[in-house]
Amino acid sequence: MARPSIATCDPSARPCLATRGSLPRSRTCAPLLFLCLLLGLTVFCADANPSDSKLLCSRLLPCEPSIEMVRNCKNLWKLLDRKVSVPCRKITTLTRTVTLTELPDKTMEAKCLQGMFELIDSAFFNETKLQEIAKGATEMNVPIYRANRKLVATKDGGLENPSPLVFNPSWNREVQRVQDKRFKYPSASGVKLPRDEEDIAFMSVLELGELIKTRQITSKELVRIYLKQLKRYNHVLEAVVTYTEELAYKQAKEADDLLSQGTYLGPLHGIPYGLKDIVAVPGYKTTWGSTSFKDQFLDIEAWVYKRLKASGAVLVAKLVTGSMAYDDIWFGGRTRNPWNIEEFSTGSSAGPAASTSAGSETAGSMTYPAARCGITALRPTFGSVGRTGVMSISESLDKLGPFCRTAADCAVILDAIKGKDPDDLSSREIAFEDPFSVDITKLTVGYTKDADMKVVEVLGSKGVNMVPFELNYTVESVQGILNFTMDVDMLAHFDEWQRTGQEDLYEAQDQWPVELRRARVVTAVDYIQAQRARGKLIREVEKSFTVDAFIGNVTDWEKVCMGNLVGLPVLVIPTGFKNITDPPTNSCRRRTTINAGIYATPERDHIALALGMAYQSVTDAHRKRPPIDDLGPDDSIPNPPRALIPPRRLHI
């Protein structure tokens, strides 16, 4: 392909488009000149016609700037880690020289920043926000740019390190079905209905399913019990956004009627559950936890809701998500940890973790709250569960999964919600093997240095080959890659929200507002370089993952970022409890949970589930109940909490 001729600063060159006169330009100085024009600067090349330049000044550029200000504009490109040069002519100011004392540094910097953001059609930030963006880009974005370029962009041609984000031009939306083999659930025969409703509320899905199947209890009665439990504790936990009571009793009646007619849909038939409030359900608000969207109704049936409804499950509540799926702060408050009500539950799946239900993860929103709240949760292989009708942060990171009492319950839920969603291009039909049929004695399972050794010992005693293991890779910018991917994708989905100033209403100003403003200056090139670095990470993790699964810390931020970028499934399991730090009394019964993560390779979720079930078959941490009703003598629910909440760790 022929290259176009390069414009020069020769006076005979084509006229400058900005002046429609004879002011010359070069390709390399044009961006800087344009930026100066936006800032109201009067500049000209030293050998240009002075009369033309004065004409430009009088017609277009009313202010008289400092040459120092022009030079300062070059600093803007440091935000993008780009070099700017003016190779052919010296830039000079007209009329007079303006000293630095006449244009203070902050004024010059503010004008430069405003001009920079006009170039990208984003001149809606005030001066304070522009300064914050500049600081954040310098301290966080630029080091990530450089690390990724060094890793994958030192060779031209694109022959190495391809991006894992691929394009599929097919118009075929028909789902190619794999052989649909349902899991073979273990029998829960012999289960008897407890007298105490509290005991019923803490039964597993398989146990409740047996009670329904044998008609020891109706779905309508279960709905009453669970709504009573939610309303009893919600004033403390702040876990429910909306009770779907009318819908719940309607669906419960349908489930009971089907059973009376001889139709049993499986272990979820008539079982109550909740959904994180980023999942759309017609007729009810889908608030996304945000003041900006708290009155939003979406006339959409989310794919995951359809799947659960088809399995006979009964929706009783929309549960809290952190505002716009970020952390545990929402427009109605902040969700608490049922094991220690002075703590908050962390993670955007705060309500589901505090209540058990279905949640989602982009970067730690299942693993963190599940670990803190002492329940079992499965972050499944990316793409295994459809996401139509669910608020999106990042198409290449978002995942939906269950929060349950047991690993077996997680397997039941996965079996119900997995499958290809025709409207979610990332979802797939994955032929998961039956986790209830895995022979764990044939598995080799690694354990990292930060693993809970109790899990290692228990699995070893059950015949699993346990070996020391570390996952090795050379990519050092894992956390930065995840942040670039998540934040830029999120900003694309909430561009209008930022442009119209709704970020000022956001419940926690150090969260999405800061991150999305910084995302505004991530260039397309650097976003793609981050994806190329992600591809390198995926290939290195695949090569290093030489075991069937491994046991490791589930809240280590590096592992959270790596696992989400690669798409690894992980099962979070509670393994024990310890006394809280600085208890209010010696008899305080509040606890801090101890937990572990069981990581498997993509599409091998059944391995993690099988190992989790094996561990829970001989331990009881997952059956313990939080002490909300029995805090101990002289202990009470502190409101507001006495403990200082540490500042949120910025994800870099």
Which three-class secondary structure string do you get for 83-96? CCCCCCCCEEECCC
pLDDT recorded at residue 457: 96
Give me the residue spans of the domains in the chain.
Answer: 105-160+473-544, 197-471+545-623
**CA 650 to centroid of chain Cα atoms:** 14
Q: Does residue 260 have an active-site annotation?
A: no
Q: Does residue 365 have an active-site annotation?
A: yes
pLDDT recorded at residue 56: 35
Return the H-helix or E-strand segment holding 316.
strand 314-319
Considering 276, 309, 399, 559, which one is annotated as catalytic?
276
- Angle, helices 478-493/512-519, rounded to nearest 10 degrees: 90
CA 44/CA 79 separation, integer angstroms? 26
349, 330 Cβ separation under 8 angstroms: no
Report the CATH superfamily, name and number, of domain 197-471+545-623. Amidase signature (AS) domain (3.90.1300.10)
User: What one-character DSSP code corresponds to residue 578?
Assistant: E
Residue in 365, 360, 437 with CA at minimum distance from that of residue 606: 437
Chunked mean pLDDT (size 10), the chain, 652 residues: 40 34 35 31 37 38 45 56 46 42 59 78 84 85 84 69 68 59 82 93 94 96 95 89 96 97 95 94 94 92 95 95 86 87 70 59 87 93 92 91 94 93 88 92 96 96 96 92 92 90 88 90 90 93 96 93 94 94 82 94 96 96 87 68 49 32
Considering 26, 53, 348, 392, which one is annotated as catalytic?
348
CA 152/CA 116 separation, integer angstroms? 28
Q: Does residue 544 have an active-site annotation?
A: no
pLDDT recorded at residue 610: 97
pLDDT recorded at residue 529: 92
334 beta partners: 329
pLDDT recorded at residue 318: 94
Q: Residue 124: how many CB atoms within 10 A of its CB?
A: 11
**DSSP secondary structure string, 597-651?**
EEEE-TT-HHHHHHHHHHHHTS--GGG----TT---TT----SS-SSPPPPPPP-
**DSSP secondary structure string, 431-500?**
----GGG--GGG-EEEE-TTS-HHHHHHHHHTT-EEEE---------HHHHHHHHHHHHHHHHTHHHHHT
**Residues 6 or more apart from 109 whose CB is under 8 A from it?**
72, 75, 131, 134
Q: Burial code of 357-382, b = ≥16 C-beta within 10 A, e = fewer?
A: bbbbbbbbbbbbbbbbbbbbbbbbbb
- Give the chain's length: 652
406, 616 Cβ separation under 8 angstroms: yes
318, 385 Cβ separation under 8 angstroms: no
At 313, list the tokens: 């499950």
Considering 292, 365, 392, 396, which one is annotated as catalytic?
365
pLDDT recorded at residue 159: 55
pLDDT recorded at residue 564: 94
